[in-house]
Amino acid sequence: MHVVVNAAQSVDGKLATRRREQLRISGTEDFDRVDRVRAAADAVLVGVGTVIADDPHLTLDEEDRRVERLRNGRPGNPARVVVDSTGRTPTDARILDDAAATYLLVAASTPAARREALEAAGAEVVTVEGDGEHVDLGAGIGALAERGVDRLMVEGGGEIIYSCFDAGVVDELHVYVGSMVIGGRDAPTLADGEGFTESFPRLDLTGTERLDDGIVLSYEVGSD
């Protein structure tokens, strides 16, 4: 499985405001780049925090004639994945519509009635091992691989991105740095979670590109 993390942050490293409101950090040139990364993926993954904050759709614009070319002949949209230990995804979330398959990775403790409601709303609910509180991302990625996902794009938020690094599953990172300051000690950052105190993931810078009024930094994750 090849895992690509993509996010847009302010110069001070924030993904959104302290109110967790969605914010336009990049622009049309970067949206095009993100579409290309999405199109190359078999599935696009977010945490339930992002679903609740942003209600994202995570699909490509079907009206856009480039989609078929971007998808390299593969039909439709990449699958969508929500990491959601207790099944908090709202049943009317846009991510559950019929534009693509949606896997909800939940922990064993999710009540049966909640699973049934989410399945009725269009999700495929997948039970994944964990620490009892959170889905184990390594195990979740294994479950996706069993369902034919070879290339996964992770679109956030900060808790999930940290857990992906912590689980050692990230191969590539692309960060759009928008020319703005958001601030706020409680605003989500690129990697939240507990934070590392040792064995920090090391990155190899593979590219820089100016888009809109910002810059995309591309990295491969180092092996040390």
Ligand X SMILES: NC(=O)c1ccc[n+]([C@@H]2O[C@H](COP(=O)([O-])OP(=O)(O)OC[C@H]3O[C@@H](n4cnc5c(N)ncnc54)[C@H](OP(=O)(O)O)[C@@H]3O)[C@@H](O)[C@H]2O)c1
Per-residue x/- mask for ligand X, residues 89 to 128, rule CB under 6 A?
A: ----------------------------------------
Q: At what angle do helices 158-166 and 137-146 cross, to 10 degrees?
A: 90
Question: Of the ranges 35-43, 46-54, 93-101, 197-205, which one interacts with ligand X (CB under 6 A)?
Answer: 46-54
Q: Tell me which residues in 154-173 interact with ligand X (CB under 6 A).
A: 155-160, 163
Residue owning tokens 């609910």: 125
β-partners of residue 180 are none
Q: Closest separation between CB of residue 29 and ligand X, Å? A: 15
Question: Exposure pattern of 117-134 as b/e (b: 16+ CB <10 Å)?
Answer: ebeebbbebbbbebeeeb
Q: Please say which residue, 16 or 41, places its beta carbon nearer to ligand X.
A: 16
Signed CA dihedral, 19, 24, 30, 33: sign only? positive
- Note whether 166 and 193 are within 8 A (CB): yes
What distance in Å separates the CA atoms of residue 60 and residue 63, rounded to the nearest whole number? 9
Show the site string, 50-89: x = touches ligand X by CB under 6 A, - = not. Answer: x--xx----------------------------xxxx-x-
Q: Which residues bind ligand X (CB under 6 A)?
A: 7-8, 15-16, 20, 22, 25, 46-50, 53-54, 83-86, 88, 134-135, 137, 155-160, 163, 188, 192
